[in-house]
Amino acid sequence: MVGNWLKTSILMAGIVVLFGSVGAALGGAGGMMIALLLAAAMNVYAYWFSDKAVLKMYNAREVDASSAPEFYQMVKELAQNAQLPMPKVYIIDEAQPNAFATGRDPEHAAVAATTGIMRILTQRELRGVMAHELAHVKHRDTLISTISATIAGAISSIAQFGMLFSQGRDRAVHPAVAILIMILAPIAAMLIQMAISRAREFEADRAGAEISGDPTALAAALKKIHSYAHQIPLETAEQHPETAQMMIINPLSTDGIKGLFSTHPNTEERISRLMAMAS
């Protein structure tokens, strides 16, 4: 928990430094002050509202015991096993099988699953997946995960922010500087996500298997999801690749530059570790 709070603090401090530096380079002292204010506002928004923003981005619809009784009851039982408050439960109408958890803390958590994952997995396998997501909630991974997704999306628009300050100045911004900002800022954001994502997936697999009491079910689910996810596109994730690190399996196509930014450990290794737990 302390580690994730430290990472979150560093990430928030990083966005202030990055925005301030770009503001100073492109808008002088005035640009730096406006950039710092914008960064501070973004940190406040990311902490309090980033979970809602991501759920809205994926058109997730909240369900309850009346609208999705089996799924809701499954999550409720797993939350009790994990000694967690009941999270909000969402379903995303997407064919690609995937799932994620979000929220700033266990008291404000939400779990979401696509209709695709509910269709291809058995109840036992789906139970393993949702236990994995609740493990992220228990470990408070969701705070840094959701904040990093929101901030990374904002960093991706930093070039437009810079060009705004360049207008009306006596000395125009050199085109090469603008291009470098446009290219390097999103890459920096993705590298941050890579650093925070891989180890936590192994730990969530382990803890999820303990919550569900069935490591082989999660292993079987990961194998199925991995196979289907790379055949069925998830357009929202393709348009907002900064959210890919939230998913249980990388939802992005592996073609082109996106293949360089995998935020998940090797699926075969994850399955191997789960099978070792079972044995």
Q: How far is Cα 48 from Cα 143, in angstroms, rounded to an integer? A: 10
Range of the domain at 158: 2-278
Question: Which residue type is seen at 210?
Answer: E
Q: How far is Cα 187 from Cα 191, in angstroms, rounded to an integer? A: 6
Which pLDDT does position 175 carry in this prediction? 63
* Tokens at 157, concatenated: 């628009």
Q: What is the DSSP letter of 86?
A: P
Q: Report the candidate in 93, 92, 87, 60 with the shortest Cα–Cα distance to residue 74.
A: 87
How does the average pLDDT of the chain come out, rounded?
82
| One-letter-per-residue 3-state SS of 132-151 | HHHHHHHCCHHHHHHHHHHH
Give the Cα-Cα-Cα angle 132, 144, 77 (nearest 5 degrees). Answer: 30
**% of residues, the chain, pLDDT over 90:** 49
Contact assessment for residue 132 and residue 203, using Cβ atoms and an 8 Å cutoff: no
Which pLDDT does position 153 carry in this prediction? 67
DSSP string, 153-197: HHHTTHHHHHHHHHTT-SSPPPHHHHHHHHHHHHHHHHHHHHHHH
- Does residue 203 register a pLDDT over 90? yes
Residue with tokens 């697999």: 205
Instruction: Report the Cα 222 to chain-centroid distance in Å.
Output: 18
Mean pLDDT of 128-149: 89
Q: Out of 17-26, 64-73, 138-147, pick the least confident.
A: 17-26
List the catalytic residue out of 70, 77, 107, 133.
Answer: 133
- For the question of residue 133 being annotated catalytic, the response is yes
Q: How far is Cα 279 from Cα 277, in angstroms, rounded to an integer? A: 5
Q: What is the count of structural domains for the chain?
A: 1
Which pTM value belongs to this model? 0.81
